[in-house]
Chains A and B, each alone.
Chain A
Amino acid sequence: QVQLVQSGAEVKKSGASVKVSCKASGYMFIGYYLYWVRQAPGQGLEWMGHLNPRSGDTNHAQSFQDRLTQTRDTSLNMAYMQLSGLRSDDTAVYYCARGKTDCLSGICYTYFDLWGQGTLVTVSS
């Protein structure tokens, strides 16, 4: 069925890197942008970045500067999010989400219609 399945929980030390995977199934992987959103404990949702699986082009929030790397393997229908230089405030649940863009009356808008189950990343000192 149509789904995104993420890799399992991770525990990392401060300064280390983590790589989270997101496997797409049931739809054309290269047809939709793939977004990464995180949620710190008890907090709201934060957009981190997104990836065009067809071209490999990425965009990311300035707050992550050069710590965030987004890649994909189209042969496996997999997307990856690597966050380096981990700090305690990177402890969060990380989600991948499929983005769809529609246009109506000249206004184009994006929404996230499919989400992975989330991956808890815990950063300890």
Chain B
Amino acid sequence: SSEVTQDPAVSVALGQTVRITCQGDSLRSYYASWYQQKPGLAPQLVIFGKNGRPSGIPDRFSGSNSYKTSSLIITGTQAEDEAVYYCNSRDSSGNPLFGGGTQLTV
């Protein structure tokens, strides 16, 4: 089906590790990208490809991929990581498809 699903909300204790997941058939043959969005701001790319990080994104952010699941992992979560995280894949036509977003509470 042409959709990717995310848990609406996840919480993590300060300094702990959290995994945010994105599931969908398209992820069997596609690398999702991940975006962090804080209130009132534009989304910001944090992970792309197999496990790429743009310049300026802390190395506590990482990605992993397994079958139909893409994961964003934050190791040693900081207070400033509290945000909504969106994954992006593609639909059956090859067009961008966003997950519904996961609110991360630290």
Q: How many A-B residue pairs have CB under 8 A?
A: 64
A95 and B42 contact, Cβ closer than 8 Å, known pairs A44-B86, A109-B33, A111-B88: yes
Q: Bits for A98-125, please: 1 = Cβ < 8 Å to B, else 0.
A: 0010101001011111011110000000
A109 and B49 contact, Cβ closer than 8 Å, known pairs A44-B86, A116-B42: yes
Kindly identify, within residues 14 to 41 of chain B, every residue whose CB is under 8 Å from any CB belonging to chain A: 29-33, 35
Is A47 interfacial (CB-CB < 8 Å)? yes
Contact residues of A: prevailing secondary structure: strand
B20 to chain A, nearest CB (A): 14
A45 to chain B, nearest CB (A): 4
Size of B's binding interface in residues, CB under 8 A: 24
Size of A's binding interface in residues, CB under 8 A: 24
Q: Bits for A74-114, please: 1 = Cβ < 8 Å to B, else 0.
A: 00000000000000000000010100101010010111110
Residues in chain B near residue A102, CB distance under 8 A: 48-49
Are A110 and B90 in contact (CB-based, < 8 A)? yes
A3 to chain B, nearest CB (A): 11
Are A35 and B49 in contact (CB-based, < 8 A)? no
A32 to chain B, nearest CB (A): 13
Q: Bits for A34-62, please: 1 = Cβ < 8 Å to B, else 0.
A: 01010000001111001000000001010
Give Cα A50 to B90, complex, Å. Answer: 13
CB nearest neighbor in A for B43? A115
8 A-B interface contacts by CB (under 8 A): A45-B88, A47-B97, A61-B95, A95-B42, A104-B50, A111-B49, A112-B33, A112-B88
Residues of chain B at the chain A interface (Cβ within 8 Å): 29-33, 35, 42-45, 48-50, 54, 86, 88, 90, 95-101
Given contacts A47-B96, A115-B43, 5 further A-B contacts (CB under 8 A): A37-B98, A61-B95, A104-B49, A104-B50, A109-B90
Residues of chain A at the chain B interface (Cβ within 8 Å): 35, 37, 44-47, 50, 59, 61, 95, 97, 100, 102, 104, 107, 109-113, 115-118
